């Protein structure tokens, strides 16, 4: 088994049918204290339509009873955002555990981040204020405040996608901004230096986790029409072709497919 | 066993030490489909300092695997707010499941309500907008918008308590407002027609649930200094003296004790 780096790890999913993420989550949580050093809490958000199920735990994920429960209780969702934490800024506490959540325009927004962002905790906040002490939550609050200031009602999708691209790029100027964010409709992603993705679709094959002796045959759990994209800090399986984001890459997902990217084809 | 009424039921706790609510929760969730008709989802919020653990499930609580898990996994908290739902307004969906959550002034606020409030979904919202379609979430958004409009930064405690009393009374003019709300520091409560409380302190005794064949000896799990107040729509135990709120009663709790009330002594 491979050893993880000394940063937080993020995990996301975008799918065109409600899909459970137990397989990927099983790999991720091993990195929280067992195959990785991310002992400082973890969290996961599952969207169901506009609603949200949230699980946060300041315990290390590899020993967390809630994480163990979630492995036995598959929750099906089209958008999932998860995070395991290695504390850099902000002490170990529930309030500092990603993903962070806020409501804007009557939508639940969630945000998970790895990296460090200089000076973001000292900005003037507008509408949204951090509860905890992480630079990540501060970045999220700053971003949503900017969005609300620019658009008092939700803009059309292209304008929203463009504005978030600009705000992510501004955050990236402060340091490392590997980000997963959703508004319950789209999954907005940005990579500074560590983010990979894989899209699984028919014909589905088998996959073998790197962090646990677990294999899954996706063909048994899917239909021909299913499209499921998984995003992670590092590849979770060893026998599949994960694609590495480029530095500065911005990519927006919906139903498992890329809706928008700043990469030239 | 007694049968429940045809309204939602709420459950809250205020304690001076982190305390688990498994005993009371075990009684409550039986009312979600088993000893009561509240089949339309349930939720619970546990504060840990300023952080929040949230569990929401649109399944009926008496059959919910997450509810079963929580009975086996005591989470210790000083403030808990829970709710089981009998849908009146708004369809059965995760987004319509209490308690609702918003951030104001860098604090996590939660809100659970039973009753119906006329016309509250048609008000103009300011800063906070409902995600779902319940009158309860609309009331919460309206109230927090009013608070932010009046106080751009958090006011002193007496001013906050007074303003929330006024806003609860305005809500109550629209119908039935049995409410539990917290900002992570205080537990604000209002009764229109159904709310009871009990404060347990030394010498602790035994208690027997009405809705399940479960008895607990609190003396074994407590110290002499512990003060634990439980609030519920109807008494959860049969051998203790639950106190009924008066109609229009407003009461604010902290550390298991009443901080403020509009009742004359």
- Is A38 among the domain residues? yes
The verdict on a CB contact (< 8 Å) between A107 and B52 is no
Mutate to test the interface with B, among A53, A134, A142 (most CBs of B within 10 A): A53
Whole-number Cα distances in Å, B237 to B26, B170, B231, B265: 11, 32, 12, 26
Q: What is the pLDDT of residue B249?
A: 98
Q: What is the pLDDT of residue B2?
A: 42
**DSSP SS3 for A177:** coil
For the residues B148-154, what does the mean pLDDT come to?
97
- What backbone phi and psi angles, to 5 degrees, belong to A101? -135, 135
Q: Do A18 and A78 form a contact (C-beta atoms < 8 A)?
A: yes
Mutate to test the interface with B, among A18, A52, A58, A87 (most CBs of B within 10 A): A52
**Nearest Cα to Cα of residue A27 among A213, A206, A242, A220:** A213
The verdict on a CB contact (< 8 Å) between B51 and A93 is yes
Q: What is the pLDDT of residues B207-233, one digit of tens each?
A: 999 988 888 988 888 899 999 999 999
Neighbours of A6 (CB within 10 A): 10
Buried b (16+ CB within 10 A) or exposed e, B195-231: bbbbebbeebeebebbbbebebebeeebeeebbbbbb
Query: Which residues are CB-contacts of A31 (< 8 A; sequence separation ≥ 6)?
Result: A4, A9, A38, A61, A62, A84, A211
Q: Return the structure tokens found at B128.
A: 């906070």
- Is A1 among the domain residues? no
**Helix/strand/coil (H, E, C) string of B62-126?**
HHCHHHHHHHHCCCEEEEEEEEECCCCCCCCCHHHCCCEEEEECCEEEEEEEECCECCHHHCCCC
A63-67, A86-90, B64-68, B212-216: the lowest-pLDDT one: A86-90
Residues of chain B contacting residue A103, judged by C-beta atoms under 8 Å apart? 102, 128-129, 131
* pLDDT interval class at A41 (50, 70, 90): confident
**Mean pLDDT estimate for chain B:** 92
Q: What is the pLDDT of residue B244?
A: 98
Where residue A171 sits, what CATH number does that domain have?
3.60.20.10
Q: What is the pLDDT of residue A141?
A: 98
Q: What is the pLDDT of residue B194?
A: 96
Q: Return the structure tokens found at B262.
A: 């509009």
* pLDDT interval class at B6 (50, 70, 90): low
The verdict on a CB contact (< 8 Å) between A51 and B58 is yes
Q: Do B192 and B246 form a contact (C-beta atoms < 8 A)?
A: no
Place of tokens 């927090």: B144
Q: Closest residue of B to A131, CA-based?
A: B106
Neighbours of B162 (CB within 10 A): 11
For the residues A189-205, what does the mean pLDDT come to?
95
Buried b (16+ CB within 10 A) or exposed e, A87-123: beebeebbbbbbbbbbbbbbebbbbbbbbbbeebbee
Out of A8, A143, A164, A181, the active site residue is A8
- Is B4 among the domain residues? no
- Is B176 among the domain residues? yes
Quote the percentage of chain B above a pLDDT of 90. 75
Q: Return the structure tokens found at B182.
A: 């917290």
The verdict on a CB contact (< 8 Å) between B130 and A105 is no
d(CA A98, CA A114): 10
Q: What is the pLDDT of residues A118-154, one digit of tens each?
A: 999 999 999 999 999 999 999 999 999 999 999 999 9
Triad A60, A103, B105: Cα angle to 5°: 80
Triad A164, A169, A174: Cα angle to 5°: 130
* pLDDT interval class at A246 (50, 70, 90): very high
* pLDDT interval class at B5 (50, 70, 90): very low
- Is B85 among the domain residues? yes
The verdict on a CB contact (< 8 Å) between A50 and B96 is no
Neighbours of A68 (CB within 10 A): 15
**DSSP SS3 for B40:** coil
**Nearest Cα to Cα of residue B259 among B171, B189, B177, B203:** B189
Q: Which domain holds residue A157?
A: 9-261
- Is A3 among the domain residues? no
d(CA B206, CA B218): 6
Chain A / chain B CB contacts < 8 angstroms: 89
Q: Would you give the end-to-end CA distance of chain A in angstroms?
A: 35
- Is A183 among the domain residues? yes
**Out of B50, B65, B95, closest to residue A51 by CB:** B95
Quote the percentage of chain A above a pLDDT of 70. 95
Residues of chain B contacting residue A102, judged by C-beta atoms under 8 Å apart? 103
- Prediction ipTM score: 0.92
Q: What is the pLDDT of residue B1?
A: 38
**Out of B52, B54, B69, closest to residue A69 by CB:** B69
Total number of domains constituting chain B: 1
- What backbone phi and psi angles, to 5 degrees, belong to A260? -160, 145
Q: Do A35 and A4 form a contact (C-beta atoms < 8 A)?
A: yes
Q: What is the pLDDT of residue A221?
A: 82
- Is B3 among the domain residues? no
* Chain A residues contacting B via beta carbons under 8 Å: 48-58, 65-66, 69, 73, 93-97, 101-103, 105-108, 127-132
* pLDDT interval class at A114 (50, 70, 90): very high
Is A8 annotated in the active site? yes
**Out of A50, A93, A132, closest to residue B95 by CB:** A50
Neighbours of A215 (CB within 10 A): 12
Place of tokens 């907005």: A188
Q: What ranges make up the beta strands (E) of A28-132? A: 42-48, 51-57, 76-84, 100-104, 107-114
Q: What is the pLDDT of residues B80-138, one digit of tens each?
A: 999 998 776 678 899 999 999 999 999 999 999 999 999 999 999 999 999 999 999 99
Q: Is the pLDDT of residue A14 over 50?
A: yes
Q: What is the pLDDT of residue A6?
A: 54
For the residues A21-35, what does the mean pLDDT come to?
84
**Out of A53, A105, A132, closest to residue B50 by CB:** A132
The verdict on a CB contact (< 8 Å) between B49 and A93 is yes
């Amino acid at each position: 088994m491979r050893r993880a780096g000394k940063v937080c790890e993020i995990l996301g999913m975008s799918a065109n049918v409600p899909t459970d993420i137990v397989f990927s989550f099983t790999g991720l949580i091993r990195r929280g204290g067992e195959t990785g050093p991310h002992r400082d809490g973890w969290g996961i958000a599952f969207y169901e339509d506009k609603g949200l199920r949230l699980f946060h735990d300041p315990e290390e994920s590899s020993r967390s009873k809630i994480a163990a429960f979630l492995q036995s209780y598959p929750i099906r969702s089209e958008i999932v955002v998860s995070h395991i934490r290695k504390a850099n800024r902000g002490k170990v506490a529930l309030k500092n555990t990603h993903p962070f959540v806020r409501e804007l325009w009557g939508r639940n927004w969630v945000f998970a981040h790895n990296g460090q962002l200089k000076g973001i905790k000292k900005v003037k906040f507008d509408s949204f204020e951090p509860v905890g002490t992480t630079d990540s939550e501060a970045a999220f609050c700053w971003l949503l405040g900017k969005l609300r200031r620019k658009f008092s009602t939700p803009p059309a999708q292209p304008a929203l996608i463009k504005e978030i691209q600009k705000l992510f790029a501004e955050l990236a100027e402060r340091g490392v901004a590997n980000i997963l964010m959703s508004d319950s409709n789209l999954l907005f992603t940005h990579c500074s230096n560590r983010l990979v993705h894989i899209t699984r679709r028919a014909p589905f094959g088998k996959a073998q986790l790197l962090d646990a002796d677990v294999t899954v045959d996706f063909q048994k759990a899917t239909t021909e029409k299913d499209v499921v994209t998984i995003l992670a800090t590092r590849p979770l399986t060893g026998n599949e072709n994960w694609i590495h984001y480029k530095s500065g890459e911005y990519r927006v997902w919906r139903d498992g497919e890329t809706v928008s990217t700043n990469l030239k084809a």
